[in-house]
């Protein structure tokens, strides 16, 4: 006899979502559905009609966990719409900023999942290591991009200013000194995850992976012609879930995909791991890659080089695309600038891509492991909601309407 297990909201993540699992008599999940219940934010509509400079300032406030990727995706989209080619040093500063954010964001997630994997006698040690790692990573973002949370120096056309040679040397020394500590933590965390004894195959899914770059992002690797977006009613077979789900379903080649650290490792480094354990391993290994990127780029950076391109802000209405590999996966922003105003804006954010993949990934195992599967993707729900739930006064009628620009 089928039973329905509902976890609402799911925990240790940003935003609000539900996991609904149909289980058999043994408690094995036969059908899993995961969906956002985070209300529409409307930030894409807010920036429409405004000056281009307003978009990155506003969209970086989509989420307090992911402000760096959204800032970068926004300026990259507007750069593309205006046909701006930023200076090499500006690109390097942006890459340093994102790589440092990867380290910090992954460390936050490892703190959130620590109760799942870290034994009591190692808990304080692991948490203190996370704090030390985050302190260095956030300092890099703060110095290079202006602020650790809302990076005010990331601008359309490049960066507000280059860093000083003294700052470069200090950051280089601090990040290089972090390598052994980060390596120690990554080895510890991976060992604890692998020794947890999770069921073999937990969280394995049949979806294709999608990523544009090993760490930063490449708009040329995202084909808009292969992208479609559908409403919850056309995706979920449960009418009640379809009525309550607050995000559209983005598809690539007509199917849902997996984005994120594991997807990047699969696409660019030949990674073969699958499932929950592989998600955590890939995320931890990516911290090491990101730190190497920061150190190597700081070593190459010419602090006397220009970091701002010359450009006209008027625009022609060309659709610009910004593709940034955020910690949780591919973050796509699209913008059209004409007559010095934003005429169109849209965000396709990482967790939105993963939502239709995460629910089915719980299937075939006991429902108690469902939260493990969801947390492995490090979901972040508030980034961009394209559906608004409208009800009448007595709440008897609920419908979804896709918010379009």
CATH number, residue 76: 1.10.645.10
**Looking at the 3D structure of the chain, how many domains does it have?**
1
In order along its 405 residues, the chain shows pLDDT tens digits of 579 999 999 999 888 899 999 999 999 999 999 999 887 777 888 899 999 999 999 999 888 888 999 999 999 999 999 999 999 999 999 999 999 999 999 999 999 999 999 999 999 999 999 999 999 999 999 999 999 889 999 999 999 999 999 999 999 999 999 999 999 999 999 999 999 999 999 999 999 999 999 999 999 999 999 999 998 989 999 999 998 888 889 999 999 999 999 999 999 999 999 999 999 999 999 999 999 999 999 999 999 999 999 999 999 999 999 999 999 999 999 999 999 999 999 999 999 999 999 999 999 999 999 999 999 999 998 765 666 555 555 544 444 444 443
Which residue from 215, 216, 254 is spatially nearest to 234, judged by alpha carbons? 254
Q: Is 392 exposed, middle or buried (0-12, 13-18, 19+ CB in 10 A)?
A: exposed
Enclosing domain of residue 90: 3-402
Q: Is 166 exposed, middle or buried (0-12, 13-18, 19+ CB in 10 A)?
A: exposed
Strands 208-209 and 257-258: parallel
Alpha helices for 118-211 (secondary structure H): 120-145, 165-194
161: phi then psi, degrees, rounded to nearest 5: -160, 160
Q: Is 393 exposed, middle or buried (0-12, 13-18, 19+ CB in 10 A)?
A: exposed
Per DSSP, the three-state class of 366 is strand
Angle at 54 between CA 64 and CA 321, to 5 degrees: 80
Alpha-carbon distance of 181 to 17, in angstroms, equals 35
Alpha-carbon 378 to chain mean position: 9
Tokens of 394: 């007595």
């Amino acid at each position: 006899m089928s039973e329905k297990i509902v976890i609402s909201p799911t925990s240790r993540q940003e935003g609000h979502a539900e996991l609904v699992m149909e289980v058999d008599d043994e408690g094995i999940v036969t059908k899993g559905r995961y969906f956002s219940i985070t209300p529409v934010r409307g930030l894409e509509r807010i920036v429409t009609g405004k000056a281009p400079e307003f978009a990155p300032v506003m969209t970086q406030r989509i989420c307090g966990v992911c402000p760096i990727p959204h800032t970068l995706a926004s300026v990259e989209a507007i750069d593309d719409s205006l046909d701006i080619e930023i200076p090499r040093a500006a690109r390097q500063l942006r890459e340093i900023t994102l790589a440092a954010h990867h380290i910090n964001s992954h460390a936050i997630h490892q703190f959130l999942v620590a109760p799942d994997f870290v034994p009591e006698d190692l808990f304080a040690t692991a948490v203190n290591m996370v704090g030390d790692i985050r302190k260095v990573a956030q300092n890099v973002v703060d110095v290079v991009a202006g602020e650790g949370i809302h990076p005010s120096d990331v601008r359309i056309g490049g960066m507000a200013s280059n860093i000083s040679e003294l700052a470069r040397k200090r950051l280089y020394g601090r990040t290089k000194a972090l390598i052994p500590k980060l390596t120690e933590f990554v080895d510890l965390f991976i060992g604890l995850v692998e020794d947890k004894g999770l069921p073999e195959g937990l969280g394995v899914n049949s979806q294709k992976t999608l990523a544009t770059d090993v760490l930063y992002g490449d708009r040329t690797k995202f084909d808009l012609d292969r992208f479609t977006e559908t409403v919850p009613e056309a995706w979920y077979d449960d009418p009640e879930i379809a009525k309550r789900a607050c995000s559209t379903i983005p598809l690539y080649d007509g199917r849902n995909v997996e984005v994120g650290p594991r997807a990047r490792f699969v696409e660019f480094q030949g990674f073969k791991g699958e499932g929950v354990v592989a998600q955590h391993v890939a995320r931890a290994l990516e911290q090491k890659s990101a730190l190497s990127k920061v150190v190597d780029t700081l070593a190459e950076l010419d602090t006397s080089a220009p970091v701002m391109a010359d450009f006209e802000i008027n625009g022609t209405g060309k659709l610009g695309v910004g593709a940034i590999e955020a910690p949780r996966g591919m973050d796509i922003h699209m913008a059209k600038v004409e007559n010095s105003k934003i005429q169109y804006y849209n965000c396709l954010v990482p967790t939105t891509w993963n939502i239709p993949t995460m629910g089915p990934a719980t299937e075939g195992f006991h429902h108690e492991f469902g939260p493990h599967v969801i947390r492995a993707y490090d979901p972040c729900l508030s980034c961009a909601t394209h559906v608004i739930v409208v009800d009448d006064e007595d709440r008897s009628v609920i419908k979804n309407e896709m918010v379009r620009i």
